[in-house]
Chain A
Amino acid sequence: MLAGICTCLLASSEATAASGVAGYQTWTFAAILALTLLMLAAEKVHKTLVVLLSAGLCLLLADFWGYFAHAGGHRLPVYVEMIEWEVIGLVIGATVFVEIAARSGVFTFVSVKMLKASRGDPFRLLILFSVLTTVFSAFLDNITAMIIVGSLTVVACRKLELDPKPFLITEAIMTNVGGLLTLISSIPNIIIGQTADISYLTFLIVAAPYTLFAITASMFVARGVFGKAVRPLSSPEAQAHNLALVTAFDEWETVEDRRFFYTSIVAVILVILAFAFKSQIPILKDFGIEVVAMGAAVFMMLLHAKDVEHDLSNVEWSLVFFFVGLFTIIGVMEEAQVLRQIGELLNGLTAKAGSVGLMWFTALFSAVTDNIPLAAMLGKIFGPDPEAAAAVPRVQWWAVVFGANLGGNITPIGSASTVVAVTILKKNGLKVGFLGFVKIGVAFAAVQLVLASVYLLILARLL
C-alpha cells in the first residue's frame, strides 16, 4: 500500500498543486502517515502514543503551512471539528454498558449452559462454543467475548482432559466472524456504519446470512484442520464420563446477585431493541446512535449504582485518546490532499478488481496492522462528507466491513481476539508460534473470504 501511495503521489503532484496545497507538503504528510502506519504495525510503542505524537506533528505542520485559519492561537475547539465524536461516544457508551452487563453474570451463565449442552463431547463443544463466541462478539466487544468464552474453555478442557488449543484458536477466529453481525460488534463497523449511514437493523439483516454461512463453513474447516483433537466421542463410557463432568458445572455459581442478573437481561434486551428499532421509535429516532449507547450506559449504571467509580474505570481511555489522535491525523491528511491521492489509487483498484478486490486488499492490510485506522481512513476517503458517502455504492462499504473484520483471522496479531487467545494459551503453558497460527488462520480466512467474495457479488446485485 505504501509503495502505491508513493506512485500515486508522484503521478498527481500537479493535481495537488492545483488544489492550493504544495506537492512537497502532501509528500511530507504522506511520509508521516506511512511512518505512523509502520509504527502501528511494528507495535513497539503503544498505539495511542504513536497516533497522539503523529497527530501533534501533523497539527504543528498544518498550522505552520496555514491550513487552519484560526484566531487567538492554538486552542482545542479549533481542532475538535476533525474528531468524529459520534464514534467516540458510541465506544464509551457501549464499553460501559457491556462491562456492567458482563459483570451481572448473564454471559457467564449462558456460557455454562452451553458447556452443559455440549455433553462434554469435543466436537459439540467446538460447535457450541464457536456459535457462542460469534453471538457474544455481536453484542459484546471482541476482547470481552473472547475472555469470557476463552476462560471457560480452559477450565472445561482441564476437566475434560482436552487440548484447549483447537478450541481457543477457533473461538478467536469466530469472534471476528461475530464482529460482522451488528453495527456495534466491532470498531470498523461503527466507523463505516456512521460514515455510510447504515442503520443497526439494516446492518444486521445484511450481515446475518453471511455470518450463518461462515459459521457452518468454519466448522468444516475446524474439523479438517484439528482432526482427532475435536473428534466426537464414540464409546458410551467416555460419553457418560464427560457428561458427568460437565453436568457438575453449576451456572448459578457464576451469578453473584440474582436481582441484578434478571434486571440486566431485561436491560440488554431493551437496549438491543432500542438499537434495532431506533428509527421507528418516535422520540428515539431523533437521537444519534451514540446518544442511545450513552443512555444505555447510564441506565446500566443506575441498575448497578453501588459501584459507579469502578464501572466508569472500565472505559478504555487509551482507545478514546487513540481515536482523538487518529481522527486528527485523518483530518489533516484530508486537508493535505493525501487522502484524495490514496482515494484515486483505490478507485483505480475498485475499477479493476471491483468490491471483491477492495475486500481482499482490506483483509490483507488488516492482517498485519490495526484495522481501526484502516477503516477510519477508508471511511474518510470514500465518504469525506455525507453527500459523497451516499454516492458510494453500498457494496463498497460492505467490502471494507468484511475485509476489516475477517482479515484479522490470518495472523495472531491481526485482531484483539486472536491476541487474547494466544495470551490464554501462553498463560496455560501452551504455545502457538506465529507461523503455526498463520497456517491455521489462513485456512479459515481463505474459506471465509472466498465465501464473502461470493456474498459481495450477490449483494452487488441486490443493494
Chain B
Amino acid sequence: MRERSLDQFESIFERASIPVLDIQELDLKRIAAVLRGDELDDSVLRLGEYLRRRFKADVRLHWSATLDAGQAAWQAQARGFAPAPGPFGSTAELVGQISIGRSQLVLLPDAAGETPTLPRAVDIDALVQGTAPPILLIRRSVEHPQAVFQRVLHSLTGNFQQTRNFAHSFALVEEGGTIVLLHTIDQTELHDVRDALRVSPDIAAAGGEELLQSLTRRGERYLKAVVAASRKFPYNVSYRLAVGEVRATVERELAAGEYGLLVVGRHQEGYSHVEAEDYQLMHQVRHVPILAL
C-alpha cells in the first residue's frame, strides 16, 4: 500500500512539475527572400526590406530561372539585398542555395492557384522537407509588414517538440505585440480512440472522460511551460486550449482574433516532421501568412 501511495503522489508531483524550456533569443542575421514570378513577389520584397531594417540582417534574393535575371538584380539593389549567385531552376537547387547561404529564415510567396504561363518551379512540400530554417509563406498581399508581426497565433497542436525553432516565432513578434498559443485537442482523433476503447465496455465507461482530461492536462502543461519560458520577451504571451476539429478551430480563432500571422510546427527533435494537423493548416489556411517552423 505504501509503495502504491508513493507512486501515486510521485506521479502527482511529476505532473505538477512543468518542464522548463529554454527559448533562446534569436539574432536574425541571414534571411532568404524568394521570387517565383508570383503576384505576391512584391509582398516578399516589402517584408524582406522591413526585416532587414528591423534586425539589421543581410537579405539574399533567390529568383526563379523563369524570371528575368536583370530585373531580379535591379530589385535586389533597390532594396539593399544581396543577389544569389544565380537563379534556381528547381526546388532542389533552391534548397541548395538556402543551405549554402546559411539562411535563418526563408520568405516565400505562395499565391493561390498556378499561373499557367508562369510555372513557379517550387514544390512547397519538397522545400518544407528539405530546408532547416523556418519558412514564411506569404499567402496574401502584405501592404504593412509591421502588422504581420503585431498579433501572432501559434498553433501547437500535434507537434509538441518544435521547441528548437520557437526562437524564430518569438523573435519576429513586434515589441509590445501579442502571441497567443493555441492547443486544439483533436476531436476526430478523440472519437477514434473512444471507438477503439468501446471494444472493452469497462475501459470505455471509465476511459472516455479520463482520456480527455489527460489530453487537456498534457496540453495545458506544455502551454504553461512555453508561457513560463517566454516571460523574458517584451510582449504578451497567453494561451488557449480548445477541443474540436483542428482546422476549423484555428480558422475560427484567426477570424475572431484578427491575427497577422499563423505559426505551425514542422520539426521534431531537429528533423523535419510535419504532423497531419500542421500539414492541413500549412496548405489550407490561405488568408494569413504562415510561418512553418
A binding-site residues for B, Cβ under 8 Å: 108, 111-112, 143-144, 147-148, 150-152, 154-156, 159, 244-245, 247-251, 253-254, 420, 423-424, 427
Across the two chains, which residue of chain A brings its CB closest to B8?
Answer: A151
Cβ of B18 within 8 Å of any chain A Cβ, yes or no, is yes
Indicate if the CB atoms of B12 and A248 lie closer than 8 Å. no
Main secondary structure of the interface of B (DSSP, over half): helix
- List 8 extra interface pairs beyond A253-B18, A253-B217, A427-B3, CB under 8 A: A108-B9, A147-B2, A155-B10, A155-B14, A420-B2, A420-B6, A423-B3, A423-B6
Cβ of B53 within 8 Å of any chain A Cβ, yes or no, is no
Indicate which residue in A111, A245, A250 contacts B20 across the interface (CB closer than 8 Å).
A245
Q: How far, in whole Å, are A108 and B10 apart by their CA atoms in the complex?
A: 10
Cβ of B16 within 8 Å of any chain A Cβ, yes or no, is yes
Across the two chains, which residue of chain B brings its CB closest to A143?
Answer: B2
Indicate if the CB atoms of A249 and B9 lie closer than 8 Å. no
Whether A248 touches B6, Cβ cut-off 8 Å, given contacts A112-B13, A254-B12, is no
Indicate if the CB atoms of A250 and B5 lie closer than 8 Å. no
Q: Which of B5, B13, B18 has the most CB of A within 10 A?
A: B13
Residues of A within 8 A of B225 (CB): 248
Indicate if the CB atoms of A150 and B12 lie closer than 8 Å. no
Across the two chains, which residue of chain B brings its CB closest to A109?
Answer: B16
Indicate if the CB atoms of A250 and B13 lie closer than 8 Å. no
Q: How far, in whole Å, are A78 and B9 apart by their CA atoms in the complex?
A: 44
Indicate if the CB atoms of B20 and A151 lie closer than 8 Å. no
Indicate if the CB atoms of A248 and B19 lie closer than 8 Å. yes
How far does the Cβ of A150 sit from chain B's closest Cβ, in whole Å? 7
B binding-site residues for A, Cβ under 8 Å: 2-3, 5-6, 9-10, 12-20, 217, 221, 224-225, 228
Q: How far, in whole Å, are A453 and B225 apart by their CA atoms in the complex?
A: 51
Indicate if the CB atoms of B17 and A108 lie closer than 8 Å. no
Indicate which residue in B3, B13, B19, B228 contacts A108 across the interface (CB closer than 8 Å).
B13
Indicate if the CB atoms of A249 and B10 lie closer than 8 Å. no
User: What would be 22 A-B contacts, judged by CB atoms less than 8 Å apart?
Assistant: A111-B13, A147-B2, A147-B6, A148-B9, A152-B9, A155-B13, A159-B17, A248-B17, A248-B19, A248-B225, A249-B13, A249-B16, A249-B18, A253-B12, A253-B15, A253-B16, A253-B18, A253-B217, A253-B221, A254-B16, A423-B2, A423-B6
Indicate if the CB atoms of B2 and A254 lie closer than 8 Å. no
Across the two chains, which residue of chain B brings its CB closest to A112?
Answer: B16
Across the two chains, which residue of chain B brings its CB closest to A144?
Answer: B5
Q: How far, in whole Å, are A143 and B5 apart by their CA atoms in the complex?
A: 10
Indicate which residue in B3, B13, B20 contacts A248 across the interface (CB closer than 8 Å).
B20
How far does the Cβ of A88 sit from chain B's closest Cβ, in whole Å? 20
Q: How far, in whole Å, are A159 and B10 apart by their CA atoms in the complex?
A: 13
Indicate if the CB atoms of B228 and A248 lie closer than 8 Å. yes
Q: How far, in whole Å, are A110 and B217 apart by their CA atoms in the complex?
A: 20
Residues of A within 8 A of B12 (CB): 108, 151, 253-254
Across the two chains, which residue of chain A brings its CB closest to B228?
Answer: A248
Across the two chains, which residue of chain B brings its CB closest to A151?
Answer: B9
Indicate if the CB atoms of B6 and A424 lie closer than 8 Å. yes
Q: How far, in whole Å, are A11 and B98 apart by their CA atoms in the complex?
A: 101
How far does the Cβ of B13 sit from chain A's closest Cβ, in whole Å? 4
Q: How far, in whole Å, are A159 and B20 apart by their CA atoms in the complex?
A: 10
Indicate if the CB atoms of B6 and A244 lie closer than 8 Å. no
Q: How far, in whole Å, are A112 and B18 apart by their CA atoms in the complex?
A: 12
Indicate which residue in A147, A154, A248, A423 contacts B18 across the interface (CB closer than 8 Å).
A248
Q: How far, in whole Å, are A253 and B9 apart by their CA atoms in the complex?
A: 12
How far does the Cβ of B221 sit from chain A's closest Cβ, in whole Å? 7
Indicate if the CB atoms of B15 and A151 lie closer than 8 Å. no
How far does the Cβ of A145 sit from chain B's closest Cβ, in whole Å? 11
Across the two chains, which residue of chain A brings its CB closest to B225?
Answer: A248
Q: Which of A244, A247, A250 has the most CB of B within 10 A?
A: A250
Q: How far, in whole Å, are A316 and B217 apart by their CA atoms in the complex?
A: 33
Q: How far, in whole Å, are A423 and B224 apart by their CA atoms in the complex?
A: 33
How far does the Cβ of A6 sit from chain B's closest Cβ, in whole Å? 37
Indicate if the CB atoms of B10 and A151 lie closer than 8 Å. yes
Indicate if the CB atoms of A251 and B16 lie closer than 8 Å. yes
Residues of A within 8 A of B10 (CB): 151, 154-155
Indicate if the CB atoms of B6 and A250 lie closer than 8 Å. no
Residues of A within 8 A of B224 (CB): 250
Indicate if the CB atoms of A250 and B2 lie closer than 8 Å. no
Across the two chains, which residue of chain B brings its CB closest to A245?
Answer: B20
Indicate if the CB atoms of A254 and B15 lie closer than 8 Å. yes
Residues of A within 8 A of B9 (CB): 108, 147-148, 151-152
Indicate if the CB atoms of A247 and B6 lie closer than 8 Å. no
Residues of A within 8 A of B15 (CB): 253-254
Q: How far, in whole Å, are A424 and B20 apart by their CA atoms in the complex?
A: 25
Residues of B within 8 A of A253 (CB): 12, 15-16, 18, 217, 221
Residues of B within 8 A of A108 (CB): 9, 12-13, 16
Indicate if the CB atoms of B18 and A151 lie closer than 8 Å. no
Q: Which of B5, B12, B15 has the most CB of A within 10 A?
A: B12
Q: How far, in whole Å, are A247 and B224 apart by their CA atoms in the complex?
A: 11
Residues of B within 8 A of A144 (CB): 5
Across the two chains, which residue of chain B brings its CB closest to A244?
Answer: B20
How far does the Cβ of A381 sit from chain B's closest Cβ, in whole Å? 32
Q: How far, in whole Å, are A108 and B15 apart by their CA atoms in the complex?
A: 12
How far does the Cβ of A112 sit from chain B's closest Cβ, in whole Å? 6
Indicate if the CB atoms of A155 and B6 lie closer than 8 Å. no
How far does the Cβ of B176 sit from chain A's closest Cβ, in whole Å? 24
Q: How far, in whole Å, are A150 and B5 apart by their CA atoms in the complex?
A: 11
The 6 A-B residue pairs whose C-beta atoms are closest, nearest first, are A151-B9, A253-B16, A155-B13, A248-B18, A151-B10, A152-B13
Across the two chains, which residue of chain B brings its CB closest to A248?
Answer: B18
